[in-house]
């Protein structure tokens, strides 16, 4: 039985601490997780830039602002992530913006997947440890909704098709980030509206 309260309080990083950790590791030639290969460092550098861009260019939609306004309780968002993860770079800043828009209702902590394997193994996607994963906890830090993630459903479907066409991960990554660039967080925000609407 997972103790979400313990994980949130003791293992969780604030968004700013998560961003700082990634930057500090990059300066030392490292990334989050056990693999500090050149490829993983490259992904992490690119994702750091993507997070900066999403932070600067994303405005929350009226629908999501209305959904936030209709939440009356206090909730804790626990996000499983890693610095090298491309989807996380596109999605985590959006979640952070939602929390920043209503700090009286939400707070956010991030945990690294590879340091919290029992947690991710309780929230697999099609049997895999896909991230990011958003877990919504109530005021007492009990899990109240099914997990959301690792990406919008429309992209999940596209990704499955791309993987049937090619095993070249560079090609897949290019398509993935091209989709995110065109979508401008709209699909992510639309799905997070539905998450927020389930909260009281």
Are 136 and 199 in contact by the 8 Å Cβ rule? The answer is yes
Residue 200 pLDDT exceeds 90:
no
Give the span between the Cα atoms of 128 and 111, in whole angstroms. 17
Q: Using the 8-state DSSP alphabet, how is residue 141 labeled?
A: -
> Residues 62-72: what's their mean pLDDT?
97
Q: Is residue 169 part of a domain?
A: no
Give the span between the Cα atoms of 55 and 43, in whole angstroms. 18
- Residue 129, token pair as written in the block: 């440890």
Are 177 and 90 in contact by the 8 Å Cβ rule? The answer is yes
Question: What does 65-90 look like in DSSP terms, one character per residue?
Answer: HHHHHT--S-EEEEEEE-TT-HHHHH
> Which among 190, 189, 161 has a CA at the least distance from the CA of 175?
161
Q: What is the CATH number of the domain that holds 41?
A: 3.40.30.10
Q: Is residue 74 part of a domain?
A: yes
Give the span between the Cα atoms of 166 and 85, in whole angstroms. 20
Q: Is residue 19 part of a domain?
A: yes
Three-state DSSP at 32 gives coil
Three-state DSSP at 128 gives strand
Dump pLDDT digits (tens) for 89-112: 999 999 999 999 999 999 999 999
Dump pLDDT digits (tens) for 142-192: 999 999 999 999 999 999 999 999 988 889 999 999 999 999 999 999 999
Give the span between the Cα atoms of 18 and 141, in whole angstroms. 20
Residue 85: domain span: 4-150+185-197
Q: Which residues contact 2 (CB under 8 A, 6 or more apart)?
A: 118, 119, 122
Are 79 and 119 in contact by the 8 Å Cβ rule? The answer is no
Are 177 and 169 in contact by the 8 Å Cβ rule? The answer is no
> Residues 116-127: what's their mean pLDDT?
96
* Per-residue pLDDT band at 83 (split at 50, 70, 90): very high
> Residues 47-54: what's their mean pLDDT?
96
> Residues 57-64: what's their mean pLDDT?
98
Q: Is residue 128 part of a domain?
A: yes
Q: Is residue 22 part of a domain?
A: yes
Task: Please state the domain count of the chain.
Answer: 1
Q: What separation, in Å, do the N-terminal and C-terminal C-alpha atoms of the chain show?
A: 25
Q: Is residue 172 part of a domain?
A: no
Q: Is residue 176 part of a domain?
A: no
- Tell me, what's the pLDDT at 102? 98
Three-state DSSP at 156 gives helix
Q: Is residue 164 part of a domain?
A: no
> Residues 19-47: what's their mean pLDDT?
94
pTM over 0.75? The answer is yes
Residue 77 pLDDT exceeds 90:
yes
> Residues 24-50: what's their mean pLDDT?
93
Enumerate the β-bridge partners of residue 108.
Answer: 77
Supply the mean pLDDT for the chain: 96
> Which among 128, 132, 116 has a CA at the least distance from the CA of 80?
132
Q: Which residues contact 153 (CB under 8 A, 6 or more apart)?
A: 191
> Residues 26-35: what's their mean pLDDT?
93
């Amino acid at each position: 039985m997972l103790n979400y309260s313990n994980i949130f309080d003791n293992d969780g990083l604030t968004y700013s601490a998560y961003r700082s950790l990634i930057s500090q590791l990059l300066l030392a030639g490292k990334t989050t997780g056990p693999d500090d290969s050149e490829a993983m460092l490259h992904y992490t550098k690119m994702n750091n830039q993507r997070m900066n861009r999403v932070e600067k260019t994303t405005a929350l939609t009226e629908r999501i602002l209305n959904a936030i306004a209709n939440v009356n309780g206090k909730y804790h968002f626990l996000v499983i992530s890693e610095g090298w993860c491309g989807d996380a770079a596109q999605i985590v800043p959006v979640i952070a913006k939602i929390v920043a828009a209503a700090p009286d209702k939400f707070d956010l902590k991030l945990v690294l997947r590879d340091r919290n394997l029992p947690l991710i193994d309780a929230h697999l996607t099609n049997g895999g440890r896909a991230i990011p994963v958003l877990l919504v906890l109530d005021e007492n830090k009990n899990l109240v909704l099914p997990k959301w993630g690792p990406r919008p459903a429309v992209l999940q479907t596209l990704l499955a098709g791309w993987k049937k066409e090619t095993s070249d991960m560079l090609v897949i990554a290019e398509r993935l980030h091209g989709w995110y660039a065109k979508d401008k967080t709209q699909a992510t925000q639309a799905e997070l509206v539905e998450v927020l609407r389930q909260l009281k």
